[in-house]
């Protein structure tokens, strides 16, 4: 734990390039007191509304909240949601030099309707683009990554399968990281399972690991089989399978797997936990941590996210306090 604190102190020295699907999370809070006379559905009396950075933007928020420097690379629409995302990224101190607006690409927005004192999510409304990002915008993204990556201490790929991460961009990143042996941490999605190659660390959740490996994870044996297969398939230095309330499992070639249990909690909301995991792992590895140390730190941070409803950025002071409490 003392070593983890020493690594944490180095976080402000790290500068990461985050490439991925930028999103806006909208939360509509209220109380349900009756059923609608129009249809058998609850009527929500709205009490408040809030916006938070989501998707790759939440990864960026977590890196900044933990003291790291970050350059954002992604796409927003020329709409109010895009303006909010860009404004909030600047407000938290992230560089938006690689954030491009595309008139044909509405900003991805997820609206969660939350009811009552128990914060029960009733429904989620997704607004997203169903077409491809324009060719000129894809070229700008690729050119920016090629130019900016050598100036940063590592690349974080936050892939939500919405179009920013594509085969051409992944090939460019693979060439960069292979030639320079640079840090590359990936949060994967099914649209690109067959395209990830040679990541430093890749962090699928349990469902994604099952889907990508073709092995349904239902017990320890299937978990081990899936983890080992993914290390080979992606030619990864390490694979960290996140398992929600069950914790995390770390796999490396020619090494024993390691399991990190999550401490019991009254609630465990996984919204945004994967973003926190990849942010903490990338910062820790960029600051010289080993894979096990990065996993322990990420596991502690993800537990903090599970205590809250909705996406959140983990503060440096809170993570430091939790690690100190373990001493």
- Percent helix, strand and coil across the chain, each to the nearest 5: 40, 30, 30
Report the CATH number at residue 93. 3.40.1190.20
Which residues in the chain show pLDDT less than 70? 130-131, 180, 263-271, 305-311, 327
- Rounded-to-10 torsion of CA 88, 96, 54, 44: 40
Measured CA to CA in angstroms, residue 311 lies from 41, 50, 61, 97, 213 at distances of 26, 11, 10, 24, 28
Q: What is the pLDDT of residue 315?
A: 86
Phi and psi at residue 74, to the nearest 5°: 180, -165
Collect all residues with Cβ–Cβ distance below 8 Å to 241 and sequence separation of at least 6: 203, 204, 205, 206, 209, 217, 223, 226, 227, 230, 248, 249, 251
**Two tokens, residue 213:** 């490996």
Is 275 designated active site?
A: yes
Q: What is the pLDDT of residue 103?
A: 87
- Partner residues linked to 71 by β-bridges: 17, 95
Residue of 19, 55, 104 whose CA lies nearest to 311: 55
Residue of 124, 128, 24 whose CA lies nearest to 84: 24
Measured CA to CA in angstroms, residue 172 lies from 19, 56, 73, 126, 142 at distances of 12, 19, 14, 30, 7
Gap between the Cα atoms of 205 and 207, Å rounded = 6
DSSP letter for 205, please.
B
Q: Which of 21, 25, 159, 275 is catalytic?
A: 275
Mapping DSSP to helix (H, G, I), strand (E, B) and coil, where does residue 252 land? coil
**Two tokens, residue 2:** 């003392």
Range of the domain at 91: 2-325
Q: Kindly report, residue by residue over 56-73, the tens digit of the pLDDT.
A: 999 999 999 999 999 999
Q: What is the pLDDT of residue 264?
A: 53
Q: What is the pLDDT of residue 271?
A: 62
In whole angstroms, what separates CA 249 from the centre of its chain? 17
DSSP letter for 192, please.
G
Q: What is the pLDDT of residue 239?
A: 98
Collect all residues with Cβ–Cβ distance below 8 Å to 105 and sequence separation of at least 6: 75, 76, 77, 129, 131, 133, 134, 137, 163
**Two tokens, residue 122:** 């009733």
Number of domains making up the chain: 1
**Two tokens, residue 161:** 């399968």
Contact 275, 158 (CB under 8 A): yes
């Amino acid at each position: 734990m003392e070593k983890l604190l020493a690594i944490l102190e180095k976080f402000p020295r790290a500068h990461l390039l985050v490439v991925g699907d930028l999103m806006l999370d909208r939360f509509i809070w209220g109380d349900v007191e009756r059923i609608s006379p129009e249809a058998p559905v609850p009527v929500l009396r709205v009490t408040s509304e809030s916006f938070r950075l989501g998707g790759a933007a939440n990864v960026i928020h977590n890196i900044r909240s933990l003291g790291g420097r970050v350059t954002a690379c992604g796409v927003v629409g020329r709409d109010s949601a895009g303006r909010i995302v860009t404004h909030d990224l600047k407000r938290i101190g992230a560089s938006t030099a690689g954030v491009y607006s595309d008139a044909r690409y509405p900003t991805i927005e997820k609206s969660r309707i939350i009811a009552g004192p128990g914060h029960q999510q009733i429904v989620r409304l997704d607004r997203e683009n169903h077409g491809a990002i324009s060719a000129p915008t894809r070229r700008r993204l690729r050119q920016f990554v090629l130019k900016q990556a050598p100036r940063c201490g590592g690349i974080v790929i936050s892939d939500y399968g919405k179009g920013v991460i594509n085969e051409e961009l992944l090939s460019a990143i693979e060439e960069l990281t292979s030639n320079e042996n640079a840090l590359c941490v990936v949060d994967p999605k099914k649209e690109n399972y067959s395209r990830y190659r040679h990541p430093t660390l890749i962090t699928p959740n349990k469902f994604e690991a099952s889907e990508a490996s073709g092995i349904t994870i239902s017990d320890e044996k299937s978990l081990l089989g899936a983890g080992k297969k993914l290390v080979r398939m992606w030619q990864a230095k390490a694979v960290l399978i996140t398992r929600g309330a069950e914790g995390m499992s770390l796999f490396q070639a020619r090494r024993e797997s390691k399991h990190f249990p999550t401490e019991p909690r009254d609630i465990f909301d996984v919204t945004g936990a994967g973003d926190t995991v990849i942010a903490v792992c990338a910062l820790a590895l960029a600051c010289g941590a080993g894979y096990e140390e990065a996993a322990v730190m990420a596991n502690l941070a993800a537990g903090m996210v599970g205590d809250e409803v909705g996406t959140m950025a983990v503060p440096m002071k809170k993570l430091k306090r939790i690690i100190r409490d373990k001493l």
